[in-house]
Amino acid sequence: MDEIPDPLKKVLLINAILTLILAFIYLGIFNLLLVFAVDSLYNWVFGGTLLILGIFALLVGKRKDLKQIKLLLELLIVWEIMILFIHIYSIRFMLIPLPLIVIWVNNAIFLVLIVINVYFYRMYLEKNKPNFPNNPEN
């Protein structure tokens, strides 16, 4: 059983902290201040999604076996990519009732998270590459 490396644990903790802070902003502050009250459903849905991502990142970081978290880390990366694509699509067609600066800040945060997650995921794959007998890379 491979132990989860400390850098990967730190990345998952960064994921959890950032997404939980954003979830608090969308679920708490925006709704308390009635900011963007034109469509508060978006604030609740996106805040809930961020809350799930934050809790999910914490749960993935608690796993002891590195092989167990591979699928979970892939799901985390794909989910963040999906959020980024939805925001880019919404900028093009102005589907989200938020100022563009808020959407671009969200995009920047998720782009950084995606790059960090993919980097550490690829590092995990390189470390755990299977040794097949006829593999030309061996």
Domain boundaries, position 84: 6-127
The whole-angstrom separation of Cα 43 and Cα 129 is: 41
Q: Is residue 60 part of a domain?
A: yes
Tell me the whole-structure pTM to 2 decimals: 0.74
Q: Is residue 132 part of a domain?
A: no
Report residue 59 CA to chain centroid gap.
13
The whole-angstrom separation of Cα 92 and Cα 13 is: 32
Q: Is residue 136 part of a domain?
A: no
The whole-angstrom separation of Cα 55 and Cα 59 is: 6
Q: Is residue 27 part of a domain?
A: yes
Q: Is residue 18 part of a domain?
A: yes
Q: Is residue 54 part of a domain?
A: yes
Task: Specify whether the CB–CB gap between 87 and 97 falls below 8 A.
Answer: no
The whole-angstrom separation of Cα 68 and Cα 72 is: 8
Which region holds residue 4: left if phi is over 0, alpha if psi is between -120 and 50, else beta?
Answer: beta
**pLDDT at 45 exceeding the cut of 90:** no
Mean pLDDT of all residues belonging to the chain: 80
Of the pLDDT bands very low, low, confident and very high (cuts 50, 70, 90), residue 29 is confident
Of the pLDDT bands very low, low, confident and very high (cuts 50, 70, 90), residue 89 is confident
**pLDDT at 14 exceeding the cut of 80:** yes
The whole-angstrom separation of Cα 6 and Cα 17 is: 16
Q: Is residue 138 part of a domain?
A: no
Which of 3-12, 24-33, 53-62 holds the top average pLDDT?
53-62
Q: Is residue 48 part of a domain?
A: yes
Domain count, the chain: 1
